[in-house]
Structures are given as structure tokens and as C-alpha cells.
Amino acid sequence: MPVKEEGNFWPGDIILRALLNSSQIGLWTLDLTSDTLSVSEAFKRNFGRNPDESFTYLDLQDCIHPDDMVMWKETVTRAISADGDLQVEYRINCPDGKLRWIEIRGKSHYGADHQPASISGVSLDITDRKEDERIRLDNEERRRVATETGEVGLWDLDLAKSELTLDDRMKMLNGVFEGRALDMKGAFNAIHRDDRARVEAELAGLAEGREEFLTLQYRVIGIEDGIERHVLVNGRAMRDNGHVARRLIGAARDVSHRVAAEKQGVLLNQEMSHRLKNTLAVVSSIITQTLRAATDIDAARTTLLSRIQTLAGAHEILLSGHTDTASLKAIIRSVSSPHDNNGQIDVEGQDVLLGPKTSLTLALIIHELSTNAAKYGALSVSSGQVKVLASIDHTQGLPKLVLVWSESGGPPVTVPTRKGFGTRLISMGISGGEGSQTSVDFAAEGVIYRFTALLKSAMSE
């Protein structure tokens, strides 16, 4: 396919031609009647050719990337048949094996018969621009993934225009639904009223140069969802040559879960301190009462260790759950199990989650009852049985927890002549609150203890 010589084709000023040839802008004309392509030296350089090489329309089509050929043909057809303008970007394979991006612009020209006669225009190697775009898009994608993965929102405050730009994540932190707009006034109104003055002062310090970086935590009330969030903001000022702040930019993330965890930690520490004081008081009382009633040191040591181990077991049950409650049945089974030979203890009825104080009291009571039964009662012989029945009484007033310990099959019951610490502990009942009652029936066939407490108190105390 013939190539028309530049000297015979390009009219005009010699200086202009020289400037074009020395630049990256190539000139081209395609004669549609003969498919003759005329090109400048810069055009050939754009396509990786030497200025003295021949370059035909067939050569041009051969070097176009296969995936872009259909786009090129459609663009030429549209320029000829429609608006007459041509603009396209496509990839080419150069003789050295490298891939380049070329931008082609042109306009079709019509002959005397009003039919398209030629297309002429310019070419430009845009490989560097495409690479810059690729790098920018890659960086934006990495930033998007990073912000989404880290749940970070981005913000940009133009001080000159008083315009605030927020990304979607930042809008979400302000309780704005997806796709909605949020301006600077709305964003500042979302700040909790008790935190606004502090936020404005910190931003002013950054803008006025008193601070170079910003780290600020404050609360926002969601504009559309009404949810209170704790937001941690980091930022810095972008200044001009005169060190005047023009923009404040930064990032923010939701730290509500962290704040809640910190508050929960404080509450847990307070609760642990309170529980430790109560436990030490109970231990002190156990030691005092045990030693007071003991006849010798060995007996006192054995009794004391047993009672403290029972207390520790009850604490373990409390701490094994996710709340400050423990299962009534779990406590009874755990404390009485050392004395339960061959299933002599039967725990039945309704299970209830007890509060921490009631749990410890119940554990000590069950320990005393089990120990007494193993020494003198039903658990002292293989034929004896203990039945523990828990129920809720709704018959009168507020619901009551009723716990009955009944023994059978053991030795004849004798009424104790003295009251030791264990007896006094049992008589106090499982809850020291209003409605707590304890009764005992020393029936000949087996002792029966009945404990009653307000259900609400037993579950909360």
C-alpha cells in the first residue's frame, strides 16, 4: 500500500513542520479512496518506527493490539458515517516487543460528491500517561481496600471554600445512609453537643499553626440512624509556602467497641473489688466461727479447709459463665458431689440462675448439709438417700424460690443439743433479703430443711 511522501503532502510553514517533527505529536492522513496512509516522522516514532521506514495503513492495522482492533474499526466507521470526528485510545505492539498506548484524533473530509474522501489528524504516545493512571488506580484501589478493611473513613476540609469532603465510610460514621450527601454544617451538627467546643478548638489550633497534627476522640449522634458513636480522628494541615493552612485532611474510625470495652473493664474491676471484699468478709467469718467452735487444731484445720474449698468451688462456677450468675443445680451438684456415693443425692425441679451473693451462700449451706448428712445422716450409710427439690412458688405475692433438702433411709434423727457455725449458717437461709425463711424438721425418718427466698432477690443478689 503506497505511502505519500511528507514533502509532497504537508503544506505550510517549514518552521511548523519542523516543530511537529521534533515533538511527540504525529500527523497523519488516510485517503479513503485508495487506503493510502501519509504520516509524519513523529507519527512513525510514536509507533516505534524509524523516520526513514515505510509505514502503510496495513502496517498500522497489523501493530494494533488484537483486543483493540474491533474498537479501532468501529471508531473509523463511525467517523466516516456519523459526526466526522475520530478519537480513540488503543494499544500497539512495537517492533521491539514493547507495548505502547496511542491516542488518535482526526476528522473526516468530504469530496465534491459529498462522500467521505479522507481522514486526517494527529497521534500522541500516551504510554506514560496510561502508566500513571494505572498506578493511580492501583493506589486508589489499595487505599479503598485498606480503608474498608480497617473501617477507616477519610475527610478533607477546604478552609478557603469552607467545604468538607467525606468518603462513604466517613458518612457512615456520622450516621448517614449510603448515597446521601453530607456537608460541613451537617457533619458539625452531628457532633455531640458536649464535645463540639472541644472539636472546634482542636481544629482551630491545627489551622492556626499551634499544632501540626491532630488526634481527637469525640462522640457523634447519627444524623439519620440516631446511633451514638465514639470516633477517633487523626489529621494534619496542608500549608502553602507562607505556612498558611489551606486544607485539613485526615482519617477517622469508629472506636465505640473499644470505649465500651474500657467501660466494661472499669465495671468489672469495680465488681471484682466489691466481690473480693465480700469474699474476704465471708472467709474471715468462717475462720472466726470455725476456730471458736473447734475442740482441737486438727479438726479446725480440716473443717476450715473444707469450707474454704467449697467457697472456691462456688466462685469457679460463677466465673465460668459469661454473667455474674450461677446455676442453682450446678452449685448443688458441685458442692455435694464429694459426699455422693453411688447416686445417693438426687437434684430435681426447676433450675434458676442465682446472683453472686446467693450463689456463695447456697454453696456454703449445701456444704454444711452434705457434711452433716455424711457424718450423722442419710449419707452415712449406703441405704440412705437425699432428695433436693427446687421450685417456684407463685401462690402468694411475689414469686418465691423454694428449696427443700430431705433425707431418708439413714440412722434415726436426733435433735442437736448445741448450735455451731454450720447450724447458724444454715438458719440464715439462702438469701438475707426480705421474704427469706428457713425451717427444719427433725423427723425420725430423716431431717428436712426448707429454704424460701424472694426469686427476684435470689437472682440479683
Which pLDDT score, from 0 to 100, does residue 197 have? 92
Tell me the CA distances in angstroms from 81 to 75, 104, 108, 126, 303, one per residue in order: 10, 18, 9, 27, 107
Q: Give me the helix-helix angle, 256-293 and 356-375, nearest 10°.
A: 30
Side chain identity at 323, as an amino acid letter?
T
- Segment 198-206 shows an average pLDDT of 87
Whole-angstrom distance, CA of residue 364 vs CA of residue 285: 12
- Segment 190-202 shows an average pLDDT of 91
Sign of CA dihedral 143, 147, 148, 154: negative
- Segment 348-373 shows an average pLDDT of 82
Which pLDDT score, from 0 to 100, does residue 64 have? 92
* Strand pairing class (152-158; 245-254): antiparallel
**How many Cβ atoms sit within 10 Å of the Cβ of residue 84?**
15
Give the model's confidence band at 293: pLDDT under 50 very low, under 70 low, under 90 confident, else very high.
low
Which pLDDT score, from 0 to 100, does residue 220 have? 92
Would you give the DSSP letter of residue 435? T
Cβ-based burial of 229 (10 A; exposed 0-12, middle 13-18, buried ≥19): buried
Residue position matching grid coordinates 452433716: 372
Whole-angstrom distance, CA of residue 400 vs CA of residue 109: 100
Q: For the sheet with 99-110, list strands across it.
A: 36-39, 26-31, 116-125, 99-110, 85-93
Whole-angstrom distance, CA of residue 188 vs CA of residue 197: 10
Q: What share of the chain is helix, strand, coil (3-state, %, to 5)?
A: 45, 30, 30
Three-state SS at 195: coil
**pTM of the complete model:** 0.41
377-393 per-position pLDDT tens digit? 888 888 899 999 999 88
Which pLDDT score, from 0 to 100, does residue 66 have? 92
Which pLDDT score, from 0 to 100, does residue 321 have? 46
Identify the CA nearest to 101 among candidates 67, 74, 56, 73.
67
Q: Which residues pair with 88 in a beta bridge?
A: 104
Which pLDDT score, from 0 to 100, does residue 387 have? 93
Three-state SS at 184: helix
Compare 156 and 179 and report the one with higher pLDDT: 156
Which pLDDT score, from 0 to 100, does residue 164 have? 86
Would you give the DSSP letter of residue 412? P
Does position 194 have pLDDT exceeding 90, yes or no?
Answer: yes
Percent of the chain with pLDDT over 90: 14
Identify the CA nearest to 60 among candidates 32, 34, 92.
92
Which pLDDT score, from 0 to 100, does residue 17 have? 62
Give the model's confidence band at 101: pLDDT under 50 very low, under 70 low, under 90 confident, else very high.
very high
Catalogue all structural domains in the chain, each as residue range(s) with its CATH number. Answer: 6-129 (3.30.450.20), 150-254 (3.30.450.20), 259-460 (3.30.565.10)
38-70 per-position pLDDT tens digit? 988 889 989 999 988 899 999 999 999 999 999
The string of DSSP letters for 167-183 reads -HHHHHHTTPPTT----
Nearest 5°: the CA angle 173, 178, 179 is 125
Whole-angstrom distance, CA of residue 56 vs CA of residue 124: 18
Torsion of CA 282, 284, 287, 293, to 10 degrees: -80
Tell me the CA distances in angstroms from 295 to 290, 298, 372, 373, 424, one per residue in order: 10, 9, 17, 21, 18
Which pLDDT score, from 0 to 100, does residue 389 have? 93
5-46 per-position pLDDT tens digit? 444 444 455 666 666 666 688 888 999 888 899 988 889 989
Which pLDDT score, from 0 to 100, does residue 249 have? 84
Tell me the CA distances in angstroms from 97 to 94, 186, 359, one per residue in order: 5, 55, 81
Rounded mean pLDDT of the chain? 80
* Strand pairing class (345-349; 446-454): unpaired
Sign of CA dihedral 258, 264, 267, 268: negative
Would you give the DSSP letter of residue 64? B
Q: Among 180-184, 281-285, 402-406, which range has the highest average pLDDT?
A: 402-406
Does position 307 have pLDDT exceeding 90, yes or no?
Answer: no
- Segment 162-188 shows an average pLDDT of 85
Does position 83 have pLDDT exceeding 80, yes or no?
Answer: no
Give the model's confidence band at 406: pLDDT under 50 very low, under 70 low, under 90 confident, else very high.
very high
